[in-house]
Amino acid sequence: MAHFLIADDHPLFREALIGALRLQFADLEVAESDSLESTIQQIDQNPDLDLVLLDLHMPGSGDLYGIIRIREDFPDIPVAVISGSEQLDVISKVMGFGAMGFIPKSSPSAQIANAINCILEGDSWLPEGMAGKIKALSKDDLDLANRVAELTPQQYKVLYLLHEGLLNKQIAYELQVTEATIKAHITAIFRKLGINSRTQAVLLAEKLQLSPVEPA
């Protein structure tokens, strides 16, 4: 029996993917999540997962933070990114940060099944012709990933809102916490990232290719 987690915030896509996978895998068991927070909860509750199929743009995930966080917290569970984005730089970073595969959402169901079977057998998988094009991560990218992995999901949300230019008071309103809590988060973010200013935080956030996150 195969046991997968489909982590995507679009219910119609999850439903379609589950339907396609049931045609390819007998006795399939599927868990679902629609945010980084619920994904982490599902992995905690299902330690026997064979594979996580992860979307990059779920609430709380913000592009690359999701893959960094999950690989840090659950290093023994294979993760394949399944995404509508097919940019070479994104694929390179996703694979460099520990994904076992990158599956375009436009892939036919048989190709998705083939990719998953390769990953279940312990191999990595990329679309045809892509393996020779991806770039190795730089030392700076790897160092950034290691530092970002130290951030909690809530601290990451604060980092994103700093990147957006919000003041402490505005961030507190967005996350429905006190301004003192935001100040404590910012202090922790600066310490974990090895920086001492908002400007440095914004520059580091840019390197993560941040996209909007939603408060949990």
| Tens-digit pLDDT profile for residues 90-127 | 899 899 999 999 999 989 988 999 999 999 999 999 99
For the domain covering 150-207, report its CATH number.
1.10.10.10
Task: Give the DSSP H or E segment for 33.
Answer: strand 29-33
What's the rounded Cα separation, in Å, for the pair 80 and 123?
11
What's the whole-number average pLDDT of the chain? Answer: 89
Q: Which of 173, 142, 168, 171 is nearest to 157 (CA)?
A: 171
> Where in the chain are the domains?
3-120, 150-207
What's the rounded Cα separation, in Å, for the pair 155 and 49?
27
Reduce the DSSP state of residue 150 to 3 states and report it: coil
What's the rounded Cα separation, in Å, for the pair 181 and 103?
39
When pLDDT is cut at 50, 70 and 90, the band that residue 85 belongs to is: confident
When pLDDT is cut at 50, 70 and 90, the band that residue 216 belongs to is: very low
* CATH fold match for the domains 3-120 and 150-207: no
* CA dihedral (76, 83, 193, 155) positive or negative: negative
pLDDT per position as a tens digit, 148-196: 899 998 999 899 899 889 999 999 999 999 999 999 999 999 999 999 9
What's the rounded Cα separation, in Å, for the pair 31 and 155?
27
What's the rounded Cα separation, in Å, for the pair 64 and 213?
12
pLDDT for 141 equals 84
When pLDDT is cut at 50, 70 and 90, the band that residue 144 belongs to is: confident
When pLDDT is cut at 50, 70 and 90, the band that residue 209 belongs to is: low
For the domain covering 3-120, report its CATH number.
3.40.50.2300
pLDDT per position as a tens digit, 9-67: 999 999 999 998 998 888 899 999 999 999 999 999 998 999 999 998 888 776 788 89
What residue has token string 């509508």? 84
